Structure 1
Amino acid sequence: MSRVVRTSLTLVAFLASGAAGYWAGQRDLALPVLSWLRTVPWLSENAARASVDPKAAEPVIYYRDPDGRPAYSAVPKQTADGRDFAAVHAGEDVGFAGDARTPQAAQPAEASATGGAKRLLYYRNPMGLPDTSPTPKKDSMGMDYIPVYEGDDDSGSSVKVAAGKLQRTGVKTQTAAERIIVDPVRVPGTVQLDERHMTVVTTRSDAYVNKVADVTTGDRIRKGQALLQLYSPEIAAASALFLTNLNSGTREGTLGGARQRLENLGVPPEAIAEIEQTRKVPLSMTWRSPRDGVVVQRNAIDGMKVGPGDVLFRLADTSTVWVVADVPEYQIGAVKVGAAATIRLRGQPSELFSGQVALIYPQVASDTRTTKIRIEIPNPDGVLKPDMYASVEIASGSGQPVVAVPDDAVIDTGTRQLVIVDIGDGRFEPRDVRTGQQGGGFTEIRAGIASGDKVVVAANFLIDAESNLKAALSGMSSTEAMP
């Protein structure tokens, strides 16, 4: 159908409907006219459509693709397969937000239906440009400015977003809740022996080593196991005096002084008991291990002469070891004594060991700007060996539940932090917050929102930008309203 024919049909339908309305008052002529109109098929069809749908009588603004694709035309048009474009009348125009725009005539009625008449504040640009008007107007594309009523612009910061736009922009919310935030501190460390579980074997007088037991560095020994035999002239003289007092039945005081001298020379209690039983002074004394552990140093050699204080053996108990880690200076404030720690050996990455921070050393290394911390680890199987490298993960935080939101909810501008709060009914409001510790994908909120508030975790930058734009437009409208 050509454009001329379509235009003629539209004009005829309009004239016909108008003529019918006029001549309906003239009873004598109404029936003949209406009878003639019914004889024209296409004319009667258009008149019926106009009576059923009042919008059909409104002027056509443009034509759109019948399948809803973004294809428009100012004149009638057909698709590639011969289908007509759908006519969009003045009352059926839709906006870019996806929601049908209310005709200007219906806006005041709709505002009153929602709770009384609302005062019209201004009209804003439909494309979001910083342009307002105190009276209705159109933009360069022919789109009507959107009216803003009192109540719709009650806050310069809040913004209302249509449901369809929320879905298209991917806005997602999550409830702020109380949770324990754990931010692990990961630092390197080394395994070291527990200084409190180390012992040295030595003498307190000049002596000669007669024989060393078959014990070498790295051997595990038991308490009471023989280590070496040595001869000391001073120990032998004290032993002879002790034996003389025993044989002569000397008073207990004198006998006790001789025993005390042997103990002062470091003679083991087992050797003193042997003198009492055998009533003989042995040529050499047997030195035994004072604890269970591992031989970490052996200096004794058969026939050597040793002086007072010379270390013959160094023993260590490895049932408990230390892991000493170097924490950077800027992270030491997050580490507390008693904090849980997880250790992973570089030689055995699949096995984890657990312990607690026992001590934070009181000084900072000037060359590395790190502070050492000490973690005690049970080591009953001896898997942890001295000087092994380890990766240490220390749990930080207060351990108390705090109000927290996902990291994506916080917008950091550099000078302030804010979150977008869903206040219901499609409205969103930016709020300044004071943040705290971060960890595990969550940020502590110390002020600004409370537990239970819904915050935006996706597309919050878009809402923030629209909120700032709305605040700017509100300021402009206030300025325009001033005389």
Structure 2
Amino acid sequence: MTTIRLLTAFALGIGLAAGGYWTSQQSLWPSGLLLAPPAVAAERPALYYRDPSGAPFWSAGPKKDSNGRDYLPVYDEDEAPSEPAKPKQQADSARKILYYRNPMGLPDTSPIPKKDPMGMNYVPVYEGDDTDDSAVKLSPGKIQRTGVKSVPVERRAISVSIRAPGTVQLDERRVSVIAMRSESFVQKVADVTTGTRVKAGQPLMEIYSSAIAAAAAEYLSTINSKIVGGIESYGRGSRQRLTNLDVPEPVIAAMEKSHVAPVTVQWSAPRDGIVLERNAVEGMRANPGDVLFRIADISLVWALIDVAERDLGSIAVGQPVAIRARSFPGRTFSGKIAVIYPQVNRDTRTARVRVELVNPDFALLPDMYVDADIDTADAAPVLAVADSSVLDTGTRQVVLVDKSEGRYEPREVKLGRRGGGYIEVRDGLSAGEAVVTSANFLIDAESNLKAALKSFSEADAPRATVPSSDMNGMKNKGDQQ
């Protein structure tokens, strides 16, 4: 033990002597050869530089303002070197200590100074660092690093577009079928094939029917008869028989004018359209009910859209719809919802919606695939926030309200429609309040940690009422152990 004390005293004496020698040599050393003092520790890297006048201007690197003054650096601890920093102990002594938290971040607090099992002191939490409104406070440096951005809440029209696939179908009211009502024979067929566009009244074929020939002869005999009384009613019956056999009206009118029954009857197109089906062949026999021609007018077509069941509450008859055919990229056909079919497909969980489309150039063809955009936007503006502002846990939706000065408050909201990158807020916010639109997950994580610590501190509140004498006794007992 004596040897250790002698060695310590010897080392201390050598250090003092060396220090005195260095001091004396400094005064004797030539000014030109005076050694530079030890280098000061490297300055901390600046986060960014702010305007020296306090204006809201910043720069990523050193810069001068219009008056030639240097921008002031802002460091991680948010202390500019040009401004004298207040000593931390002096600043902390001026604030009230609320409680002490575990130094390892565990959910454990204490109303008095305390050590954890590792011997580390509990960290004091001062008034202002913790608030009762669950707000999270971030330093300007952390806000700059994480890129936190806030946007005021505004009223705007929510544009909600429902997209659904579909196909083009014929208008059922614009399809005509030519079929015989009696046994007939096709004598001649015009130069008309499937896909040919025809006009109303254009000849399609000539047929011979014994039933039609007999009805025509009977009608002409009543017209040429000289018998007086009952002839008019008898003639009307004969003419009606020709009509029942579906003889075209122009053929009957020609018979009345010429008083000659034709051997064959010419059949014409009943409407403008496209020949979808041709089954007539020269010389064939057509039985009653056989379809010889099917003609459709496609100047107006239907788009049958399959809308998901969840979107049925957002659509209504009369809403505008934009149709895009996959065969014509970049072209849009406009229409309106005409019918919402009252049935949901049990397999696909979709409902069919009919949209009527004008097709003047016959570009849309039956069974063509299309995509529909149904605009369900309401003209009335509503309170809305960007969709990136909402933190959705599935059971609750939260936004972070910017309370200024680096304080952010989590607030639960009730949402409405979504569309166009915005979400309607029905309850929880007011117009003009600023909400965080980016880096909100980081703030939410800190808010959840703070809420957990606060809940544990409230659970430990009854232990904070233990008298100080008992606490001292417990502390002394712990020290003895």
What is the TM-score with the length of structure 1 in the denominator? 0.70
Following superposition, the deviation at residue 260 of structure 1 comes to 2.5
Query: Does structure 1 retain, via aligned residues, the 8 Å contact 2:115–2:122?
Result: yes
Instruction: Classify 1:475/1:214 alpha carbon distance in 2 versus 1 (closer, same or farther; 3 Å).
Output: closer
Alignment match of 2:428 (pick from 448, 469, 474): 448
Alignment match of 1:287 (pick from 267, 279, 282): 267
Alignment match of 1:241 (pick from 209, 212, 218): 218
Residue correspondence of structure 1 range 11-26 to structure 2 within 5 A: none
Aligned counterparts of 1:234 and 1:95: Cα–Cα separation in 2: 106
Alignment match of 1:260 (pick from 240, 244, 254): 240
Instruction: Classify 1:132/1:248 alpha carbon distance in 2 versus 1 (closer, same or farther; 3 Å).
Output: same
Following superposition, the deviation at residue 138 of structure 1 comes to 11
Query: Does structure 1 retain, via aligned residues, the 8 Å contact 2:417–2:423?
Result: yes
For residue 225 of structure 1, what is the aligned residue in structure 2?
A: 202
For residue 467 of structure 1, what is the aligned residue in structure 2?
A: 447
For residue 255 of structure 2, what is the aligned residue in structure 1?
A: 275
Aligned counterparts of 1:393 and 1:333: Cα–Cα separation in 2: 16
For residue 360 of structure 1, what is the aligned residue in structure 2?
A: 340
SS in 1 for 2:298: coil
SS in 2 for 1:428: strand
Query: Does structure 1 retain, via aligned residues, the 8 Å contact 2:98–2:124?
Result: no
For residue 213 of structure 1, what is the aligned residue in structure 2?
A: 190
Query: Does structure 2 retain, via aligned residues, the 8 Å contact 1:126–1:146?
Result: no
SS in 1 for 2:366: coil
Alignment match of 2:126 (pick from 140, 143, 148): 148
CA deviations 1:201-256 (Å, max 9, x no partner) are 12322222221111111100001111112222222232223323333366543433
* 5+ residue gaps, structure 2: 1-14, 28-38, 47-73, 80-84, 467-481
Instruction: Classify 1:396/1:7 alpha carbon distance in 2 versus 1 (closer, same or farther; 3 Å).
Output: farther
Query: Does structure 2 retain, via aligned residues, the 8 Å contact 1:157–1:468?
Result: no
Following superposition, the deviation at residue 297 of structure 1 comes to 0.6
Q: What is the aligned length?
A: 398
What is the TM-score with the length of structure 2 in the denominator? 0.70
Alignment match of 2:41 (pick from 54, 65, 68): 65
The amino acid of 2:142's aligned partner reads K
The amino acid of 1:482's aligned partner reads T
Following superposition, the deviation at residue 309 of structure 1 comes to 2.4
Residue correspondence of structure 1 range 167-206 to structure 2 within 5 A: 167-206=144-183
Residue correspondence of structure 1 range 13-412 to structure 2 within 5 A: 65-69=41-45, 97-99=77-79, 100=85, 103-106=88-91, 121-122=98-99, 134=111, 148-149=126-127, 153-248=130-225, 252-329=232-309, 335-396=315-376, 401-412=381-392
Aligned counterparts of 2:166 and 2:148: Cα–Cα separation in 1: 44
Instruction: Classify 1:166/1:141 alpha carbon distance in 2 versus 1 (closer, same or farther; 3 Å).
Output: farther
For residue 465 of structure 2, what is the aligned residue in structure 1?
A: 482
CA deviations 1:98-155 (Å, max 9, x no partner) are 245654445676x7xxxxxxx6534668997756565689999999956533x76442
Query: Does structure 2 retain, via aligned residues, the 8 Å contact 1:188–1:390?
Result: yes
Following superposition, the deviation at residue 317 of structure 1 comes to 0.3
Query: Does structure 2 retain, via aligned residues, the 8 Å contact 1:397–1:437?
Result: no
The amino acid of 2:211's aligned partner reads E
Instruction: Classify 1:290/1:439 alpha carbon distance in 2 versus 1 (closer, same or farther; 3 Å).
Output: same
Query: Does structure 2 retain, via aligned residues, the 8 Å contact 1:98–1:164?
Result: yes
Of the structure 1 ranges 467-476 and 377-386, higher mean CA displacement relative to structure 2 is found in: 467-476
Aligned counterparts of 1:194 and 1:7: Cα–Cα separation in 2: 107
Instruction: Classify 1:129/1:4 alpha carbon distance in 2 versus 1 (closer, same or farther; 3 Å).
Output: farther
Query: Does structure 1 retain, via aligned residues, the 8 Å contact 2:133–2:409?
Result: no
The amino acid of 2:336's aligned partner reads Q
Query: Does structure 2 retain, via aligned residues, the 8 Å contact 1:405–1:444?
Result: yes
* 5+ residue gaps, structure 1: 12-39, 41-62, 71-93, 112-118
Following superposition, the deviation at residue 316 of structure 1 comes to 0.2
Alignment match of 2:437 (pick from 432, 454, 457): 457
Following superposition, the deviation at residue 194 of structure 1 comes to 1.5
Of the structure 1 ranges 200-209 and 343-352, higher mean CA displacement relative to structure 2 is found in: 343-352
Aligned counterparts of 1:354 and 1:299: Cα–Cα separation in 2: 35
Instruction: Classify 1:101/1:310 alpha carbon distance in 2 versus 1 (closer, same or farther; 3 Å).
Output: farther
SS in 2 for 1:349: coil
Aligned counterparts of 2:259 and 2:119: Cα–Cα separation in 1: 122
The amino acid of 2:412's aligned partner reads D
RMSD over aligned Cα, in angstroms?
Answer: 3.9
Aligned counterparts of 1:344 and 1:256: Cα–Cα separation in 2: 54
SS in 2 for 1:452: coil
